[in-house]
Structure 1
Amino acid sequence: MGEFVLHSSTIKPAILIPVYNHELAIVDTLREVMAFGYPVLLVDDGSNEACASVLRQLAEQYNQQVTLLSLPLNGGKGHAVKSGLRQLAEMGFSHGLQVDADGQHNLADIPAFMESGSMHPNALIAGFPQYDETISKGRFYGRYLTHVWVWINTLSFTIKDSMCGFRLYPVKQFNQMLKKNPCGNRMDFDTEVIVRWLWQKGQIINVQTKVNYPIDGVSHFNLVHDNVLISWMHTRLFFGMLLRLPKLLWQKF
């Protein structure tokens, strides 16, 4: 197994992978992640027995390098990430790099995220996806609509992409923020948490990264339920922006 060594020792990072019924994809994803030599926290978000069994086997196979946190019920991606960040704090890690279990993220970019985190230890290092011609028009324009709402709600173009879950979180700072602002528990989490981070003057470093499509073809996005949650999230943020408008304008100008 290879090992990537940070140019700075200012951070103590681990890889955080929320998993829900991706028993096929997680095997390959974890194998690729392990090549970089970082500790890994797998968060089983109430998966079925087939996936839970695979996760237990992987944790046993990699022994001291992989920790498994099993949640009794499926609470959603946001809930799994929040649970993982609290667990990483208890384990003494300063940063958690969130990686999707389904193989969507370009894991070759892990060193770039870690290097950026070592240079900016108090910043959120956020993935900025680079798509090719294979992306569907529906997916592209759907994401762009969210980008527009985010720019409105922050009065800023700082956030290049609010939906990419490939991120390096400073654990202590985000756990403190999430105590005051829990954010959504499902597909609305990624966007809401980065907007609220920017509202409290948190630094954001955007890192370009290519996006792959899930290798097992499994998506947990519920077209109706998750779109309702995302719409409600944008509504909350819009009225939150209005309440903060004088402060946001003061900071901007």
Structure 2
Amino acid sequence: MSEKICGLIPVYDNHMTIAGVVKALLEQIDFIIIVDDGSHDGTENIVDSLKQKYPERIAVLHHPENRGKGAAVQSGLHHADGLGFTHAVQVDADGQHNLEDLPKFLQGVEENPRALLLGAPVFDDDIPAIRKHGRKLTQAMIALEMGSWDVPDAMCGFRAYPVAAICRLGKMDQRMSFDPEVMIRAHWAGIPLLKIPTRVRYLAPEEGGISHFRMINDNVRHTWAHMRLILQAPFRLLHKALRKPDE
């Protein structure tokens, strides 16, 4: 491969699943950056143990307190940039992503190194109804922000980031609104967005499936984030339309 690719796992209180995800990812990627976002359920010790077991293949960053998924991903991307990686494949720590689809992302990076590759989820029947309908509402708002109804899924955490290009976009939302915001800002910046179909499975609580989504607080944050983006969208889209192809 001509591109230098690492794995990136943001993790917060996923003690039941993190080790399995890391080991499965190491079967296909040589180096992984794990960002522990202030875990306090033993996850922080598990990732340190994995680092000790694979000292040449794992880097662990610890946030002293929970700052949010967006903060964890951005910490990981800047660390990857500092280590010289061109791309980072992000997977969630809860085991919901099908790593058998990882070769499609790796191939996509080689064929389209400028692009942000976004998982296009194929859901099993176990997807909670509230998540299914919430995604539809999010997609409608994103269509306004992107100026197109051909909108990739904005919430799937299985992605491949072109590291330097994303880091140049600047600081973004620190929590769950990062996922749609980085996609929208990448689109405004002229970074191609490509969809990679991938199966997603929601684990039961006894399997380690947990959600850190806070119904009131996070919905308020999402709404505010989209209001900001919608207000910026006309100016950003006009600038994108006027920009020269090589800029």
Q: Same fold (TM over 0.5)?
A: yes
Q: 1:202 aligns with which of 191, 197, 201?
A: 191
- 1:193 and 2:182 correspond: yes
1:159-184, Cα deviation, whole Å (9 max, x unpaired): 32011111100111111112xxx221
Query: Separation in 1 of the partners of 2:61 and 2:130?
Result: 35
In the other structure, the counterpart of 2:116 is: 124
The residue type equivalent to 1:109 in the other structure is: D
1:23-60, Cα deviation, whole Å (9 max, x unpaired): 11101111211111421111111111612111111111
- 1:22 and 2:48 correspond: no
In the other structure, the counterpart of 2:74 is: 82
| Greater mean deviation of Cα atoms: 225-234 or 35-44 | 35-44
Change in CA separation of 1:92 and 1:250 when aligned onto 2, cut-off 3 Å: closer
Task: Report the Cα offset of residue 157 of structure 1.
Answer: 3.3
Task: Report the Cα offset of residue 142 of structure 1.
Answer: 0.7
Q: 2:151 aligns with which of 141, 152, 159?
A: 159
The residue type equivalent to 2:197 in the other structure is: Q
Task: Report the Cα offset of residue 69 of structure 1.
Answer: 1.2
The residue type equivalent to 1:22 in the other structure is: N
Give unmatched runs, 5+ long, in structure 2: none
Aligned partner of residue 64 in structure 1, secondary structure: coil
Q: 1:220 aligns with which of 191, 212, 228?
A: 212
- Normalising by structure 2, what TM-score? 0.92
Whether contact under 8 Å (1:41, 1:84) holds in the other structure is yes
Task: Report the Cα offset of residue 249 of structure 1.
Answer: 6.7
Task: Report the Cα offset of residue 11 of structure 1.
Answer: 0.8
Correspondence list, 1:53-202, <5 A: 53-178=45-170, 182-202=171-191
Query: Separation in 1 of the partners of 2:136 and 2:35?
Result: 30
Equivalenced residue count is: 240
Change in CA separation of 1:91 and 1:248 when aligned onto 2, cut-off 3 Å: closer
| Greater mean deviation of Cα atoms: 153-162 or 196-205 | 153-162
In the other structure, the counterpart of 1:4 is: none
Task: Report the Cα offset of residue 243 of structure 1.
Answer: 3.1
In the other structure, the counterpart of 2:227 is: 235
Query: Separation in 1 of the partners of 2:151 and 2:28?
Result: 27
Task: Report the Cα offset of residue 139 of structure 1.
Answer: 1.5
Give unmatched runs, 5+ long, in structure 1: 1-8
Change in CA separation of 1:245 and 1:111 when aligned onto 2, cut-off 3 Å: closer
Root-mean-square deviation over aligned CA pairs? 1.6
Task: Report the Cα offset of residue 211 of structure 1.
Answer: 0.3
The residue type equivalent to 1:183 in the other structure is: M
In the other structure, the counterpart of 1:44 is: 36
Whether contact under 8 Å (2:18, 2:43) holds in the other structure is no
Query: Separation in 2 of the partners of 1:230 and 1:83?
Result: 21
Whether contact under 8 Å (2:7, 2:31) holds in the other structure is yes
| Greater mean deviation of Cα atoms: 152-161 or 198-207 | 152-161
Whether contact under 8 Å (1:159, 1:204) holds in the other structure is no
Whether contact under 8 Å (1:155, 1:248) holds in the other structure is no
- Normalising by structure 1, what TM-score? 0.90
Identity %: 36
The residue type equivalent to 1:175 in the other structure is: C
In the other structure, the counterpart of 1:6 is: none
